[in-house]
Amino acid sequence: MKKQMLCGFMVLMLLCGCTPKKLEGTVNPHREYGEQQSELSYDEHYVTSLTYPKTDIEELDTAIVESVRHHQDRFLAEVANYKEEAIAEFNVSYQSYIKDDRYISVKLDFYRTIYQTSETVETFVYDAEERKLIDLYDIYEDEALPDLSAFAVSYFQKNFPQECNTQEFKIASAPTIANYNQFVLRKDAIVFYFQEGTLFDRLATLEVPYEQIEDHVDIKEERQVFVAYDQVLNEPVKEIDPNKPMVALTLDDGPSKKYTPIILDTLREYNASATFFVLGSKAESEPELLQRMILEGNEIGNHTYSHKQLTTLSKERIEDEIAHTQEVIYKMTSTYPQMIRPPYGSRNDTVFQCAADKKIVAWTIDTEDWRSQDVQQIVEKVLNEVEDGSIILMHDMYASTAEAVKILVPELQDRGYQLVTVSDLYAYGKNKAGKIMEGK
């Protein structure tokens, strides 16, 4: 009788969908879970770029969106009366991880520049087995906090000895849950984050290998799996008549799993080419799309890793934004981009120095497709302003842009234009934005 009741209960569990569901991840080692959501906004005095994951887990998604909107509302309130010449910026980026096919960790990075720059981190860890968001005390023994604190103090004193002799450091490294509750669970380690003005004046990170705390948590290190890509990708040669008009379609902020393939389909159908200025953070998730771009005769440019306004960053951070993306693209395609487009077109002497071996690419036609998201407006904007050598700015993030490309490619060809890459415009001396593309 008990056996029959147990079997019936198990069947009921299955029918109700109560069995653990395998977490389907991505190939991106820094964005292992969730569908990327992106929002762009430009104003006369500020810009915003928001990127965060949609996980289809209601509690987790609600927490993420509430956090993003809270920080966004604070920023908008602070810039309401901002009239300075320097453009203010609000940037949200993220990382996400799967651990033991059970824990989903999301780290949101908030970067703000108004009168000064500030950075904040918020983390969320969801237990798919218990179906709830968790804190450190759910997985880590309270009585073991002094050991964790001692490890943190030892690490920071060894690496930043001059900055640890403060009362703030002693308070922020003390063995309390509140001090260590911003964390993510990676496959190889638990990573803790300390906000600006706590341990130090800047954000601080502490990676603790699971073996270091194996007596206090029931989580072990997982072997990392790396995806190998083809060593050589041969770009096809497309015939270009230097005596005929040519224009370059450029698409920023992708690749998008949903809309980039539609645009690539259109380009292939009409034997046309474009230049895709990709974000390193997105490219890591879409190796097949990057390889397809090259294989079908398109060009890939560098749009930095996290879409921050480069003029607000230090030289070292600008170099990292560019170099990190270069390596991501090379890993996927065996090709280093020769073109870079800074987010928002923002550039100064430091940006030019950091991109000295590359061409900085601007545009001559801004479709403002992100603003209107209206197919007809995008098409009319291009057709009314296009001329030989035009560089057309679009974003492969919107359905309206993908539909506009379907109309524009054959129409531009019917008007006698060849659709080529930005490098092709350079090669044939056609670039209309040459004075600002060449840098200094």
CB 254 within 8 A of CB 185: no
- At which residue do the structure tokens 């959501």 appear? 37
Phi, psi values for residue 277, rounded to 5° = -90, 100
**Distance between CA 393 and CA 221 in Å, rounded?**
45
Q: Are the C-beta atoms of residues 250 and 278 closer than 8 Å to each other?
A: no
Number of other residues whose CB lies within 10 A of the CB of residue 412: 23
CA distance 260 to 322: 22
* Residue 253 annotated as catalytic: no
d(CA 370, CA 401): 9
Q: Is the peptide bond before 255 cis (omega within 30 degrees of 0)?
A: yes
- Asked if 252 is an active-site residue, the reply is yes
User: How crowded is residue 414: how many other Cβ atoms within 10 Å of its Cβ?
Assistant: 8
**Residue 400 token pair:** 């309206």
Query: Which is catalytic among the residues 61, 109, 252, 369?
Result: 252
Phi, psi of 334 (to 5 degrees): 60, 25
**Which pair of tokens denotes residue 43?**
């104003």
DSSP code string of 204-228 = EEEEEEGGGGTTT-S----------
> 105-124 burial by CB neighbour count: b if 16+ within 10 A, else e?
bbbbbbbbbbeeeeebbbbb
Which distant-in-sequence residues (6+ apart) come within 8 Å of 155 by Cβ? Answer: 206
Q: Catalytic pick from 71, 303, 307, 395?
A: 395
The whole-angstrom separation of Cα 169 and Cα 104 is 30
Number of H helices, E strands in the chain: 14, 17
For helices 260-269 and 399-414, what crossing angle results, to 10°? 10
Nearest to 88 by CA among 39, 49, 37, 38: 49
Provide the annotated active-site residues.
252, 395
